[in-house]
């Protein structure tokens, strides 16, 4: 028997059982209740009349009057007073039982017979007479008929509703098929969903079990490859004792920030060195010294874990030497950070350490895009040396004329506010192409330059730090999204636009983004929204966020990827269009074999879920050839093409 026939018969059987069972149960219950009420009514009347007649049994006129009074005030077939001595009827009142507006067939079906009650009338200690009362069921029959009609009407209404919702019930029974369709569609979107509830139909159950097994195998394969890539990343770029980045990753990120690009900005590099680490190790032991190192690392971790500091990087260089890379920070804020860190370090002083020396010395210097890493580190060593020579203040900040802003904060605020308010913005586009065929453009990355009062386009690296400082990141995102959508209305080609972490964390601003996207569903195939891995919310929030964005029809990509699979939760649940690997892991990949292993591990993990990889900031032909050999799908960078206005 087919599934549809089974469901149809089940619905019919359910309706038949429900209608008939409810009708007869309700009728029988009402009948029993009415019989009980009639019986009680007759007995109560007999008892009350018997008590009333006890004092008047020898007065026939009074007995007749009281019997008539009781008979006329209730529903009775008959009331009789019978002498005990000779069984003679002293008084009798009766009436023919009939029920108006009640069909005879219903009366026969219900069979609601009159109920009797009796009571004794006493003369002192002697039984003088008895009262027999027979109740009249006409009123009960009328009530029972009315309630039965009401029940029947209600059941007919239920039947009509059941007919209306019959199609819904069929769809409900066939819902596993719909879920399997969604499961297959999710796999095509790189989301792996298991159906926890198995259908009872054997055919559907076998199919669902097979689909779930396939999904679990894909999940296991991805988890295995993700764990391998995470292990390689930890071995190559993470300090084993503190969990911070190691010196190698710091050098890679510093070199990346020093590259001249559209989003490059000035920043600061801080170095912290614990005093007399070897002496502490001898005097206090290795365990307590490691505790001090771990405490310093936790301090730096807390600094970098704040949402607005997602681009900061804390690293342990070696021994008791730590570094903190701070992009986009001016001199005043850098000096304040150094002072706060120095003051906090004094709270970590160990018992047995020298009281005349600070816990650590700090040096901090500015860097500028275009400089060589060696020059920045040389100035940093100089700053640290000066800090050691100045016991009154254990930190030194080296500044130069180039770090002084040409405009005051008020000037920056005024012209940025004016540019965002009036749309004084110019869009730039950087191509992203396939590795296998660079003539095939996947999409263009959208960048923006704001126009200053003189109409000069200012690169993002100069104004983005100020926008973050002013708390206008969400405002900038809305302005860029509006400009991009306006551009797409006229020019139909694929684009990718980044959203900042501030926008993602602000429900009000995020809702504005969603409303704007939902208003233009026809542009959904042309625009991919990119999220920075360094600014991701917790896994559960990220999953909800990704689904909210995907519900608008627009796609999602993840940029600057490479930090950690564990930090972003399960990639298979996000429905990503692609991953863009951070340029720090691409730079010099043709010369460093361990970088090749790391990217190969990422490729294996993402390839198992059919998720394309795109390499960022590819600058040399050697880097391009290497990532092409590794199977990376796409590439972007100045080698392919710089950002340009269209």
Residue located via tokens 């600094």 = 303
Q: Quote the pTM value.
A: 0.65
The residues spanned by each domain of the chain are 3-168, 245-403, 409-635
Residue 500 confidence (pLDDT) above 60:
yes
Q: What is the pLDDT of residue 431?
A: 95
- Rounded to an integer, what distance in angstroms lies between the CA atom of residue 522 and that of residue 138? 72
Contacts 24+ apart (CB under 8 A), 620-627: 620/590, 622/590, 622/591, 623/586, 623/587, 623/588, 623/589, 623/590, 624/435, 625/590, 626/589, 626/590, 626/596, 627/435, 627/586, 627/589, 627/599
Residue located via tokens 């704001």 = 450
CA distances to 551, 592, 619, 633 from 622, rounded to whole Å, are 40, 11, 9, 16
- Rounded to an integer, what distance in angstroms lies between the CA atom of residue 39 and that of residue 56? 26
Q: What is the pLDDT of residue 138?
A: 74
Burial 142-168 (b: 16+ CB within 10 A, else e): eebbeebeebeeebeeeeeebeeeeee
Q: What is the pLDDT of residue 404?
A: 40
Residue 28 confidence (pLDDT) above 50:
yes
Which secondary structure element, helix H or strand E, spans residue 378, and what is its range?
helix 373-388
Q: What is the pLDDT of residue 490?
A: 92
Q: Residue 316: which of 397, 364, 250, 387 has the closest Cα? A: 250
Q: Residue 300: which of 317, 280, 315, 321 has the closest Cα? A: 315
| Mean pLDDT over the full length of the chain | 82
Percent of the chain having pLDDT more than 90? 20
The domain defined by 3-168 folds into: Translation Initiation Factor IF3 (3.30.110)
Contacts 24+ apart (CB under 8 A), 158-163: 158/18, 158/19, 159/15, 159/19, 162/11, 162/14, 162/15
- Rounded to an integer, what distance in angstroms lies between the CA atom of residue 182 and that of residue 76? 70
- Rounded to an integer, what distance in angstroms lies between the CA atom of residue 10 and that of residue 380? 81
Between 476 and 93, where is the model more confident?
Answer: 476
Q: What angle do CA 457, 524, 637 make, to 5 degrees?
A: 45
Which secondary structure element, helix H or strand E, spans residue 459, and what is its range?
none
Residue 646 confidence (pLDDT) above 80:
no
**Predicted confidence band of residue 613 (pLDDT cuts 50, 70, 90):** very high
Select, from the ranges 61-65, 248-252, 283-287, the one with the highest average predicted confidence (pLDDT): 248-252
Q: What is the pLDDT of residue 4?
A: 60
CATH architecture of 409-635: Alpha-Beta Barrel (3.20)
Q: How many CA atoms lie within 13 A of 508 on its CB side?
A: 2
CATH superfamily of 245-403: Reverse transcriptase/Diguanylate cyclase domain (3.30.70.270)
201's tokens? 């139909």
Picking from 206-215, 398-407, 414-423, 486-495, which range would have the lowest pLDDT averaged per residue?
A: 398-407
pLDDT tens string 221-273: 777 877 887 888 888 888 888 889 899 889 888 888 887 776 677 889 999 98
Stretch 115-144: mean pLDDT:
79
Beta bridge partners of 123: 126
Which secondary structure element, helix H or strand E, spans residue 591, and what is its range?
none
Reduced to 3 states (helix: H, G, I; strand: E, B; else coil), residue 445 is strand
Q: What is the pLDDT of residue 432?
A: 96
**Strand ranges, E, within 489-561:** 495-499, 527-532, 555-561
Between 561 and 42, where is the model more confident?
Answer: 561
The phi and psi torsions of 528 (rounded to 5 degrees) equal -115, 130
Residue 444 confidence (pLDDT) above 90:
yes
pLDDT tens string 134-189: 887 777 778 878 887 887 787 778 777 876 777 676 777 677 777 777 777 777 66
Residue 428 confidence (pLDDT) above 80:
yes
277-284 helix and 286-304 helix, angle to the nearest 10 degrees: 130
Picking from 390-399, 528-537, 592-601, 626-635, which range would have the lowest pLDDT averaged per residue?
A: 390-399
- Rounded to an integer, what distance in angstroms lies between the CA atom of residue 202 and that of residue 275? 72
């Amino acid at each position: 028997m087919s599934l549809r026939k089974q469901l149809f018969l089940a619905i019919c059987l359910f309706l038949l059982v429900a209608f008939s069972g409810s009708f007869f149960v309700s009728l029988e219950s009402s009948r029993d209740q009415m019989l009980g009420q009639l019986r009680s009514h007759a007995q109560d009347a007999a008892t009350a009349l018997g008590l009333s007649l006890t004092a008047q049994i020898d007065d026939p006129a009074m007995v007749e009057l009281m019997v008539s009074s009781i008979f006329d005030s209730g529903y009775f077939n008959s009331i009789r007073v019978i002498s005990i001595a000779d069984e003679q009827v002293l008084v009798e009142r009766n009436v023919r039982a009939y029920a108006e507006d009640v069909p005879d067939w219903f009366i026969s079906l219900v069979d609601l017979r009159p109920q009797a009650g009796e009571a004794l009338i006493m003369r002192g200690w002697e039984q003088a007479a008895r009262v027999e009362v027979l109740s009249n069921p006409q009123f009960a029959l009328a009530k029972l008929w009315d309630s039965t009609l009401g029940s029947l009407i209600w059941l007919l209404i239920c039947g009509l509703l059941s007919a209306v919702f019959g199609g819904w019930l069929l769809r409900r029974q066939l819902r596993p098929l719909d879920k399997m369709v969604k499961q297959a569609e999710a796999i095509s979107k790189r989301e792996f969903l298991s159906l926890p509830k198995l259908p009872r139909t054997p055919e559907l159950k076998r199919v669902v079990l097979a689909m779930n097994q396939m999904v679990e195998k894909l999940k296991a394969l991805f988890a295995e490859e993700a764990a391998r890539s995470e292990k390689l990343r930890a071995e190559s770029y993470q300090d084993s004792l503190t969990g911070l980045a190691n010196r190698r990753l710091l050098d890679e990120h510093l070199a990346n920030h020093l590259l001249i690009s559209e989003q490059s900005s000035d920043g600061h590099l801080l170095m912290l060195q614990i005093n007399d680490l070897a002496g502490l190790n001898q005097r206090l032991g290795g365990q307590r010294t490691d505790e001090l190192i771990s405490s310093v690392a936790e301090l730096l971790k807390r600094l970098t874990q704040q949402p607005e500091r997602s681009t900061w990087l804390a690293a342990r260089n070696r021994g008791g030497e730590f570094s903190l890379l701070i992009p986009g920070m001016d001199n005043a804020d850098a000096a304040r950070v150094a002072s706060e860190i120095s003051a906090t370090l004094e709270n970590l002083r160990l018992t047995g350490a020298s009281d005349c020396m600070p816990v650590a010395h700090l040096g901090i210097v500015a860097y500028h895009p275009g400089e060589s890493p060696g020059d920045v580190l040389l100035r940093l060593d100089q700053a640290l040396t000066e800090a050691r020579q100045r016991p009154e203040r254990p930190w030194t900040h080296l500044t130069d004329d180039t770090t002084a802003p040409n405009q005051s904060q008020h000037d920056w605020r005024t012209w940025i506010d004016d540019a965002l308010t009036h749309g004084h913005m110019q869009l730039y586009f950087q191509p992203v192409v396939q590795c296998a065929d660079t003539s095939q453009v996947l999409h263009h990355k959208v960048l923006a330059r704001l126009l200053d009062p003189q109409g000069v386009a200012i690169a993002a690296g100069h104004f983005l730090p100020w926008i973050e400082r002013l708390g206008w990141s969400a405002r900038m995102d809305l302005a860029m999204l509006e400009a991009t959508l306006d551009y797409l209305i006229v020019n139909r080609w694929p684009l990718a636009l980044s959203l900042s972490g501030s926008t993602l964390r602000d429900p009000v601003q995020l809702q504005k983004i969603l409303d704007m996207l939902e208003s233009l569903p026809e542009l959904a195939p042309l625009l991919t929204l990119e999220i920075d891995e360094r600014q991701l919310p917790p896994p559960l929030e990220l999953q909800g966020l990704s689904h909210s964005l995907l519900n608008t029809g627009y796609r999602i990509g993840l940029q600057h990827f490479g930090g950690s699979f564990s930090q972003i939760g399960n990639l298979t649940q996000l429905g990503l269009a692609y991953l863009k690997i951070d340029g720090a892991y691409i730079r010099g990949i043709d010369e460093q074999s361990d970088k090749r292993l790391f990217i190969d591990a990422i490729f294996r993990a993402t390839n198992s879920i059919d998720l394309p990889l795109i390499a960022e900031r590819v600058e040399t032909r050697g880097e391009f050839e290497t990532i092409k050999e590794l199977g990376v799908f796409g590439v972007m960078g100045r080698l392919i093409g710089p950002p340009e206005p269209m």
